[in-house]
Amino acid sequence: MATTEVPTPDQAAAKPALHFAPTTGMLLVKLGRFAEARFKEALKPTELTPKHLGVLFEVRANPTSQQLLCQTIDVDASKLVAILNDLEEDGLIVRRRDPNDRRRHIVELTKEAQSRLAKAEKVAKSVEEEFFAGLDADERAQLRLLLARVADTTGVIRGCPSLIVDD
């Protein structure tokens, strides 16, 4: 009977065991789930979720209608309304009738949102530092550029490469 050698913790840490043959897409799915869970936990003190934060970032960059917001962040309208209701109840956004089209609501940040968003950005930056600790600055910049190109070409985030700003 052959014995199976159990790796030491150092050996296991040096080379994680893979339980499937990963594709780049599957690695991104796994990393995305991990990152979302980590961000969700880290954001708890701010009383925001990653979804809240995504909406606030988008609205800060471009106050817009609810309909366009659904498209830019790729969220179902009913889910977006729930997120916006949460943010409005917390005093972080206001929805105003568009003076040019009374059927539309324009979503804008409040002053309170600016403060909460600054705290959440610090949390997000620290999670990102932890998440990418294994990469040096040049590798992080390259990864960000490559992911931005993929986001742009797939339409996930249009114009994404132009959004890249040196940290």
User: Exposed e or buried b for every residue in 82-95, given b needs 16+ CB within 10 A?
Assistant: ebbebbeeeebbeb
pTM for this predicted structure: 0.72
pLDDT value at residue 157: 72
Average the pLDDT over 83-107 and give the result: 90
Assign domain 46-128 to a CATH class.
mainly alpha
Count of Cβ atoms closer than 10 Å to residue 43 Cβ: 19
Dump pLDDT digits (tens) for 129-144.
999 999 999 999 999 9
In angstroms, the Cα distances linking 82 to 31, 77, 103, 129, 167 are: 26, 9, 19, 31, 33
Domain boundaries, the chain: 46-128
Dump pLDDT digits (tens) for 47-84.
999 889 989 998 998 888 888 888 887 788 889 999 99
Return mean pLDDT, the chain.
84
Q: Which of 43-57, 76-90, 143-157 has the lowest mean pLDDT?
A: 143-157
pLDDT value at residue 21: 62
